[in-house]
Structure 1
Amino acid sequence: MHLSIRTEKGATIISVDATRIDAAVAIRFKDLMRDAAEGRSGRIILDLGRVDFIDSSGLGAIVAAMKQLEKGQKLELAALNSNVDKVFRLTRMDTVFPIHDSLGSAVAGHAH
């Protein structure tokens, strides 16, 4: 599990460089997200474009990552493939997170 971090138009973009967020990597993911978000302010966009599988542990880790954000930080999701998007919709997590169709629309600030 590896995360790439960059800043674009004032937003911190954290890209998941893995195809799965599941029980095997959930704790590591949560720790990496905490480290990546530390000391940053404003919008944090989680780029899930390479992720094609997420289970309940992975979903829980993303929720935990949101809950450990500091005041003034906001977690948004971008570029979910159909399998991952379906998990967020079935669990109603699409009502908890702003979800963007693409990384480009996320950076521009347009949710779907």
Structure 2
Amino acid sequence: MSLTSTATDTAQIITVNAARIDAAMAIQFKEDMRAHSADGPARVILDLSAVEFIDSSGLGAIVAAMKQLGSGRRLDLAGLTPTVDKVFRLTRMDTVFDLFASLDDAIAAEAG
């Protein structure tokens, strides 16, 4: 699992550089997310634009990543491909996370 992290004035952006977040990658994803988001701004944006497939283990790993941020911090999701977006909506996770069509939309939402 490859994650990269950058910072803006108001948020930390963590980009997933993998086509899948599934059972084989879920544990590594959680560990990498913990390492990248251990401290930082209150808002973390997870850029999922490269992810084309996510299963229940991957979904659980993203929920776990949100929980490990703790209170006072939030995890927003950006750049969901149609397949990944469908998984979040079918599981009603779109009521838990703010979903943005693109990373630019997510960044603009904070600014606007």
TM-score for the superposition, normalised by structure 2: 0.94
Which whole-Å CA distance do the structure 2 matches of 1:92 and 1:70 have between them?
A: 21
Check whether the contact 1:41–1:72 (CA below 8 A) recurs between aligned residues. no
Cross-structure match for 2:104:
104
Deviation at 1:109, TM superposition (A): 1.4
Check whether the contact 1:53–1:84 (CA below 8 A) recurs between aligned residues. yes
Cross-structure match for 2:60:
60
Cross-structure match for 2:28:
28
Deviation at 1:10, TM superposition (A): 1.8
Q: CA RMSD in A?
A: 1.0
Cross-structure match for 2:73:
73
Give unpaired runs (5+ residues) of structure 1. none
Deviation at 1:8, TM superposition (A): 1.8
Equivalent residue letter for 2:18: A
Check whether the contact 1:51–1:80 (CA below 8 A) recurs between aligned residues. yes
| DSSP 3-state at the match of 1:109 | helix
Moved more, 68-77 or 20-29: 68-77
Equivalent residue letter for 1:13: I
Which whole-Å CA distance do the structure 1 matches of 2:26 and 2:108 have between them?
A: 29
TM-score for the superposition, normalised by structure 1: 0.94
Aligned: 1:7 with 2:7:
yes
**Aligned residues with identical type, % of pairs:** 58
Query: Number of residues paired by the alignment?
Result: 110
Which whole-Å CA distance do the structure 1 matches of 2:65 and 2:77 have between them?
A: 12
